[in-house]
């Protein structure tokens, strides 16, 4: 049945080009979940529920944006969760110990994250080592640095920091968001602009489509690969800063397994893991779907948290299968 719908949507010359279909499916899924939740649970179908998903997942959204860049080139970045944790840890320890002010700490953290990404990207590009392995080493490294800084959770008590973290930005009609959401939205917009309107962005797509061809067309493939890992490192560091707003602590065990959530969000958002196809809007929807699953489970009450993982796994399966069907069709 689903295939029939896809067929109809995917048929060329119809209103919707095939490349938007995966995003639309995800959007449809999100709407369906929202409507179903609204019918089933009282107080579910409000704007604030969606905004809360944003508030609770702003850091994941930022991390997933970076992951989208990497996956679009056909790579993968396993280090994001650890870099997030490292960022919280560095922020907290610098503010708690020597008492550095946030306006020094935050840029430093962003710089460290970007530098880690840069180094990983360089190794991937220069030595032809699989991104999986390189970023795995990066994951160990960042997590190890966390534990070297400290094994316990470090609370953040800097007044500016906490004040910022507790700020509520009121929108109309009793709706509100946190400053983190604003930051995440800005990141998404900037990233979408880069992907769509700059040569870097288009080279990202070209590299993911066919690295060989991109090279023969004279595109700066190596530089682009280094760039996407740097971007992912930056996004992870920024995600770490947002997470420290959310948690108000630095801890080596923060964001364990976040790389999986980020990858899942990107895939559910319709981006091909083989690279070259996908949209940032899809990633946003992917994060929203993941967040909404948690919301639904919390409304359900009787269902336990591990169902989240099972649902995510199922969604992954369905979407990967759909991708497989699509790419098989395209080849014939």
Partner 1 sequence: MDVPAPVLRMSGIGKQFPGVRALDGVDLRLLPGEVHALMGENGAGKSTLIKVLTGVHPADSGTIELAGRTVSFAGPLEAQQAGISTVYQEVNLCANLSVAENIFIGREPRRRGRIDWKRMRARAAELLRRLELDIDVSAPLSSYSLALQQMVAIARAIDVEARVLILDEPTSSLDAGEVRQLFHVMRRLKEEGIAILFVSHFLDQIYEISDRMTILRNGRLVGEYLTRELSQVALVSKMIGQELAELERLHGEARTFDRPLVEARELGRTGAVEPFSLTIHEGEVVGLAGLLGSGRTEIARLLFGADHATGGEVAVGGAPAALRTPRAAMAHRIAFCSENRKRDGLIPDLTVRENIVLALQATRGWTRPVPRDQQDELVGRYIKALKISPPNPDHLVRNLSGGNQQKVLLARWLILEPRLLILDEPTRGIDVGAKAEIQRLVTELSDGGMAVLFISAELEEVLRLSHRVGVLRDRRLVADLPNDDTLTTDTLMETIASGGRA
Partner 2 sequence: MKRLLWPLLVLAALLAVNLFFTPSFFSVEMKEGHLYGSLIDILRFGAPLILVSLGMTLVIATGGIDLSVGSVVAISGALACLRISEDGGVFSAVVLALGLCVLLGLWNGFLVAGVGIQPIIATLILMVAGRGLAQLIADGQIITVNSPSYKVIGGGYLLTVPFGILLVLVVLGVTAFLTRRLALGVLIESVGGNAEASRLAGIRSRGIVITVYAFAALCAGVAGLMISSNVSSADGNNAGLWIELDAILAVVIGGTSLAGGRFSLGGTVLGALIIQTLTTTIYSVGVPPETTLLVKALVVAAVCLVQSPKFRDKVFRRAGPRSSPRPAAEEKVRVTA
* Of 61, 78, 63, residue with least CA distance to 281: 61
Q: How many Å apart are CA 237 and CA 84, to the nearest integer? A: 6
Look at residue 79 and give its three-state secondary structure: coil
Rule CB under 8 A: which of 264-303 touch partner 1?
276-277
Selected range binding partner 2 among 32-40, 187-195, 220-228, 309-317, rule: CB under 8 A: 309-317
Select from partner 1, partner 2, none the partner in contact with residue 276, using the beta carbon and a kind-dependent cut-off of 5 to 8 Å. partner 1
CB of 317 to partner 1, least distance (A): 23
Q: Is 213 in the site for partner 2 (CB under 8 A)?
A: no
Rule CB under 8 A: which of 68-97 touch partner 2?
76
Q: How many Å apart are CA 322 and CA 278, to the nearest integer? A: 14
Q: Is 216 in the site for partner 1 (CB under 8 A)?
A: yes
Instruction: Please classify residue 1 by burial: count the beta carbons closer than 10 Å to its beta carbon, then call 0-12 exposed, 13-18 middle and 19+ buried.
Output: exposed
Provide the 8-state DSSP code for 19: G
- Our measurement of the distance from residue 120's CA atom to the centroid of its chain's CA atoms, rounded to an integer in Å, reads 18
Select from partner 1, partner 2, none the partner in contact with residue 130, using the beta carbon and a kind-dependent cut-off of 5 to 8 Å. partner 2
CB of 16 to partner 1, least distance (A): 13
Q: Is 304 in the site for partner 2 (CB under 8 A)?
A: yes
* Closer residue to partner 2 (CB): 141 or 227: 141
Q: Is 133 in the site for partner 2 (CB under 8 A)?
A: yes
Q: How many other C-beta atoms are found inside a 10 Å radius of the C-beta of residue 215?
A: 14
Site string for partner 2, 169-208 (x = CB under 8 A): ----------------------------------------
**Tokens coding 45:** 């179908």
- Taken in order 263, 266, 272, 277, the sign of the CA dihedral is negative
The correct pick among 273, 281, 297, 322 for binding partner 2 (CB under 8 A) is 273
Strands 176-177 and 154-155: unpaired
Q: How many Å apart are CA 151 and CA 252, to the nearest integer? A: 6
Per the CB < 8 A criterion, the answer to whether 263 and 76 are in contact is yes
CB of 274 to partner 2, least distance (A): 7
Site string for partner 1, 194-213 (x = CB under 8 A): --xxxx--xx-xx-xxx-xx
Binding site for partner 1 (CB under 8 A): 12, 17-19, 193, 196-199, 202-203, 205-206, 208-210, 212-214, 216-219, 276-277, 330
């Amino acid at each position: 049945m689903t295939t029939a719908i896809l067929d109809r949507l995917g048929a060329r010359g119809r209103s919707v080009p095939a490349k938007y279909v995966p995003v639309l499916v995800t959007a449809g899924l999100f709407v369906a979940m929202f409507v179903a939740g609204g019918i089933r649970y009282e107080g579910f179908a409000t704007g604030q529920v969606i905004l809360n998903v944003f508030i609770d997942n702003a850091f994941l959204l930022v991390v997933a944006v970076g992951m989208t860049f990497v996956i679009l080139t056909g790579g993968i970045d396993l280090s994001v969760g650890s870099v997030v944790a490292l960022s919280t840890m560095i922020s907290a320890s610098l503010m708690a110990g020597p008492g550095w002010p946030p306006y020094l700490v935050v840029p430093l953290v962003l710089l460290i994250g970007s530098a880690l990404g840069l180094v990983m990207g360089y190794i991937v590009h220069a030595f032809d080592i699989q991104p999986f392995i390189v970023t795995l080493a990066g994951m160990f490294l960042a997590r190890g640095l966390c534990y070297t800084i400290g094994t316990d959770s470090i609370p953040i008590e800097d007044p500016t920091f906490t004040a910022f973290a507790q700020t509520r930005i009121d929108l109309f009609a009793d709706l509100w968001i946190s400053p983190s959401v604003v930051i995440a939205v800005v990141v998404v917009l900037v990233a979408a602009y880069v992907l769509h309107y700059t040569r870097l962005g288009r080279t990202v797509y070209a590299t993911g489509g066919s690295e060989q061809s991109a090279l023969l067309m004279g595109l700066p493939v190596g530089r682009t690969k280094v760039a996407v890992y740097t971007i992912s490192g930056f996004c992870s560091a920024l995600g770490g800063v947002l997470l420290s707003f959310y948690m108000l602590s630095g801890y080596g065990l923060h964001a364990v397994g976040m790389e999986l959530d980020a990858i899942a969000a990107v895939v559910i958002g319709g981006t091909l893991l083989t690279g070259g196809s996908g949209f940032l809007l899809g990633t946003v929807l992917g994060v929203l779907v993941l967040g909404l699953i948690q919301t639904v489970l919390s409304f359900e009450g009787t269902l336990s948290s591990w169902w989240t993982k099972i649902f995510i796994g199922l969604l992954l399966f369905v979407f990967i299968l759909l991708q497989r069907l699509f790419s098989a069709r395209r080849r014939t």
